[in-house]
Amino acid sequence: MNRKYVDYSEITKEILDSVEVGDLIKVNDWKKPMRVKGVTENYFVMAKNQLGNTYYSVCEKKPWGGIRHNSMIGGMFHVGKDSWLFGCAGFDYKFDDEEAVKKYLQTFEMGESELSQRNAIAIAQLFIKKSN
Per-residue pLDDT reduced to its tens digit, 55-78 = 999 999 999 988 998 999 999 999
**Is the distance from CB of 85 to CB of 97 less than 8 angstroms?**
no
What's the mean pLDDT when you consider all of the chain? Answer: 93
**pLDDT exceeds 80 at position 3:** no
**pLDDT exceeds 70 at position 124:** yes
Confidence of residue 90 (pLDDT cuts 50, 70, 90): confident
Burial grade of 71 (CB within 10 A; 0-12, 13-18, 19 or more): middle
Per-residue pLDDT reduced to its tens digit, 15-48 = 999 999 999 999 999 999 999 999 999 999 999 9
3-state secondary structure at position 94: coil
Hey, which bits of 2-132 come out as E strands? 6-8, 24-27, 34-39, 43-50, 53-60, 68-69, 72-73, 78-80, 121-122, 126-129
**pLDDT exceeds 80 at position 1:** no
User: End-to-end alpha-carbon separation of the chain, Å?
Assistant: 11
Confidence of residue 2 (pLDDT cuts 50, 70, 90): low
**Is the distance from CB of 61 to CB of 17 less than 8 angstroms?**
yes
45 closest CA partner among 73, 82, 10: 82
Confidence of residue 132 (pLDDT cuts 50, 70, 90): confident
Side-chain-side CA neighbours of residue 15 (13 Å): 17
Which residues lie below 8 Å from residue 119, measured CB to CB, with a gap of 6+?
70, 71, 80, 81
